[in-house]
Homo-oligomer: A and B are copies of this chain.
Amino acid sequence: MTLVAEPPALAPEQRTTTAPALEPEVEAETKTKELVIVNWSGEFDRILPMLILSSAAGASGVGCKVFVTFWGLLPFVRDGKRLTGENWMQKMLALMQRPGIDHVKLSKMNFMGMGPWMIRSLMKKYHVASPRELLEAAQAMGVEFVPCQMTMDLLGIRREDLIEGMGEPAGAAAAIEMMTGANASLFI
């Protein structure tokens, strides 16, 4: 599992949340449960439940892998990074959605950016972590984010364009193996 380099919002003891379930004697009795999420969407209102569910899984000692594919890869592009696809098509596709976790939009009624802002404000008021904080928390709690190789090729995204701490790029066959080996799978 990959731990993020700088998890500012997380106390060290939170990192060990999943540890008990990994001890051999415990595992012999009850195998650690596992959740796999296919993160297909790059929109705010789908990224949010993906992050909340994956970080909740991590916090509950449930193993969690997120296969990051299609539009869903764009929020994982490094902040401030301009995508430099080899051709204009890749550039146009990337333009469809500004990359980076801070630029995700609502799937409907974006209200020129006001919809996400309202939800962000409410989240702040009710002490729900921001997408960026949730992502860092999930990584710190051992959630593995696996980028889809085919999406990287199609959109001209290289490993160094992605945020730190992501897993090795993988293909559909690996995603199938993850899902069929887990206790639950979701396509978000």
Listed in ascending order, the chain A residues whose CB lies under 8 Å from chain B are: 1, 33-36, 38, 40, 45-46, 48-49, 52-53, 55-57, 59-60, 62, 69-71, 89-90, 92-93, 96, 108-109, 115, 118-119, 121-123, 126, 128, 150, 153-155, 171-173, 175-177, 179-188
Q: Which residues of B contact A188 (CB under 8 A)?
A: 40, 187
Q: Which residues of B contact A175 (CB under 8 A)?
A: 53, 56
Q: Which residues of B contact A56 (CB under 8 A)?
A: 171-173, 175-176
25 residue pairs A–B, Cβ–Cβ below 8 Å: A1-B171, A36-B184, A38-B49, A40-B188, A45-B70, A45-B71, A49-B70, A52-B150, A52-B172, A53-B172, A53-B176, A56-B176, A60-B176, A62-B176, A62-B180, A89-B118, A90-B122, A92-B118, A93-B119, A96-B108, A122-B154, A126-B154, A179-B183, A180-B184, A182-B184
Q: Which residues of B contact A48 (CB under 8 A)?
A: 70
Q: Which residues of B contact A186 (CB under 8 A)?
A: 38, 179, 185-187
Q: Which of these, B49, B172, B179, contacts A40 with CB under 8 Å?
A: B49
- Copies of this polypeptide in the complex: 3
CB distance from A62 to the nearest CB of B (A): 6
> From DSSP, what is the main secondary structure of chain A's interface residues?
helix
Rounded to whole angstroms, the CA-CA distance of A164 and B45 in the bound complex is 27
Q: Is the pair A173, B123 in contact by a Cβ cutoff of 8 Å?
A: no
Q: Is the pair B126, A153 in contact by a Cβ cutoff of 8 Å?
A: yes
Known interface pairs A38-B186, A93-B119, A179-B183; 8 further A-B residue pairs with C-beta atoms within 8 A, sorted by A's residue number? A40-B188, A48-B70, A56-B175, A57-B176, A60-B177, A93-B118, A123-B154, A179-B184
